[in-house]
């Protein structure tokens, strides 16, 4: 075994003894400091310029001992402490002046070194740029790993369900609170969701209409020290465990999602099947003006037996109109004429619009239904 290996084990043993028994036995912070200085002097692993720093850092991670370099105006001293057989924790001191380990200066946590693959995880910003390809460290940050976990678990659960409620273990809700939430959803939210689906759906989607697709809503908890290490050690196994726990614990949540989907489908079919519902006009208007490059258009309405043409901003017509459009987007002169013709605080609705024009082209023209002609 090399001298470096022996010295590294000696350091880890000394740190462990100090943390576990040293302070109680009367050992002081200076004792630990003196031991670290001794280790530093015996290794002399010093780089005086930033040239070659990143490659040397990679070599150091594969070996032992402290690491010192100068980069971006700082003098860095990095050390690693053995966590267990698979992981080392990295710590650093960073100074403007002076080199080596400085008494009364704290070591800051810098990341986790995984011995099996030689990679650093949860790399902290203060040492990120010391690595070759610093951006690669971002993919192994706490935040990135949490996102990977969420995506992987959701995908696993959705594959198990396969958009088929028969793959659940229950067929009915037993939680009274969820039953009440389902009833409230039907009364307050389902029609709005169906409306959103209809307006966002392409015209060439066929006759199938809106079909519910199950989507897993798994959200991972924030990492703890143990859970982060467990994920790094075995990502696939950790994902599998989390997916199984979610599937077994959230049966009522997932069935409730399917039942909400049934409610939205029913609301969607009712809305689309009603030819007098103004939503059909809204969709035609939104599609027409959104497809153009116009900022302002000319609109003609038929209201209270009167016809009126005015200019208005497109942005109002691009939005879902659940009642009436705002006259505040009209040109000021047209707004005054609008009030003179239809009285104070007049409104116009999607079904009142008969034509929308831009640059001598008709963007939208209302389809006159037979019942409207008879009237």
Residue 95: how many other CB atoms lie within 10 Å: 15
Secondary structure of 90-124 in HEC code, one letter for each residue? EEEEEECCCCCCCCCCCCEEEEEEECCCCEEECCC
Q: Which of 88, 25, 33 is nearest to 60 (CA)?
A: 88
Distance CA 343, CA 137 (A): 65
Element spanning 237, H or E: helix 235-249
Q: What confidence score (pLDDT) does residue 58 get?
A: 72
Q: What confidence score (pLDDT) does residue 131 get?
A: 78
- pTM for the predicted model, two decimal places: 0.72
Helix (H, G, I), strand (E, B) or coil at 9: helix
DSSP 8-state code for residue 85: S
Contacts 24+ apart (CB under 8 A), 249-254: 250/218, 251/168, 251/169, 251/170, 252/170, 252/173, 252/174, 252/175, 252/178, 253/217, 254/161, 254/168, 254/214, 254/216
Q: What confidence score (pLDDT) does residue 335 get?
A: 94
Q: What confidence score (pLDDT) does residue 298 get?
A: 97
pLDDT along the chain (375 residues), means of 10: 51 58 60 63 40 63 67 74 92 71 76 92 85 86 97 98 97 95 95 93 66 96 97 98 98 97 95 93 95 95 95 94 93 94 93 95 83 47
């Amino acid at each position: 075994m090399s001298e470096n290996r022996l010295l590294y084990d000696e350091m880890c043993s000394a740190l462990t003894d100090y943390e576990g028994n040293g302070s109680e036995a009367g050992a002081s912070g200076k004792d630990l400091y003196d031991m670290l200085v001794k280790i530093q002097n015996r290794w002399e692993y010093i780089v005086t310029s930033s040239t070659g720093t990143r490659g040397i850092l990679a070599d150091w991670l594969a070996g032992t001992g402290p690491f010192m370099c100068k980069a971006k105006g700082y003098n860095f001293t990095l050390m690693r402490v053995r966590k267990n057989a698979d992981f080392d924790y990295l710590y650093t001191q960073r100074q403007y002046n002076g080199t080596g380990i400085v008494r009364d200066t704290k070591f800051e946590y810098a990341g986790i070194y995984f011995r099996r693959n030689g990679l650093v995880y949860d790399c902290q910003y203060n040492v990120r740029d010391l690595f070759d390809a610093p951006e690669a460290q971002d993919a192994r940050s706490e935040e990135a790993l949490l996102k990977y976990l969420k995506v992987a678990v959701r995908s696993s659960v959705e594959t198990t369900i396969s958009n088929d409620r028969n793959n659940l273990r229950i067929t009915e809700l037993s939680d009274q609170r969820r039953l009440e939430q389902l009833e409230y959803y039907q009364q307050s939210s389902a029609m709005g969701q169906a409306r959103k689906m209809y307006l966002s759906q392409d015209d060439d989607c066929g006759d199938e209409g809106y079909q519910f697709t199950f989507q897993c809503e798994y959200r991972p908890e924030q990492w703890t020290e143990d859970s982060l290490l467990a994920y790094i050690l075995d990502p696939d196994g950790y994902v599998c465990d989390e997916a199984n726990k979610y599937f077994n614990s959230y049966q009522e949540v997932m069935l409730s999602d399917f039942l909400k989907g049934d409610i939205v489908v029913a609301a969607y079919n009712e809305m689309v099947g009603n030819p007098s519902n103004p939503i059909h006009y809204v969709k035609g208007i939104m599609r027409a003006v959104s497809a153009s490059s116009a900022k302002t258009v000319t609109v003609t309405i038929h209201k209270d037996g009167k016809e009126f043409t005015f200019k208005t901003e497109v942005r109002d017509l691009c939005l879902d109109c659940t009642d009436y459009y705002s006259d505040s987007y009209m040109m000021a002169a047209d707004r005054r004429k609008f009030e003179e013709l239809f009285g104070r605080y007049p409104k116009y609705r999607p079904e009142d619009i008969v034509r929308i024009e831009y640059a001598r082209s008709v963007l939208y023209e209302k389809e006159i239904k037979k019942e409207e002609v008879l009237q």
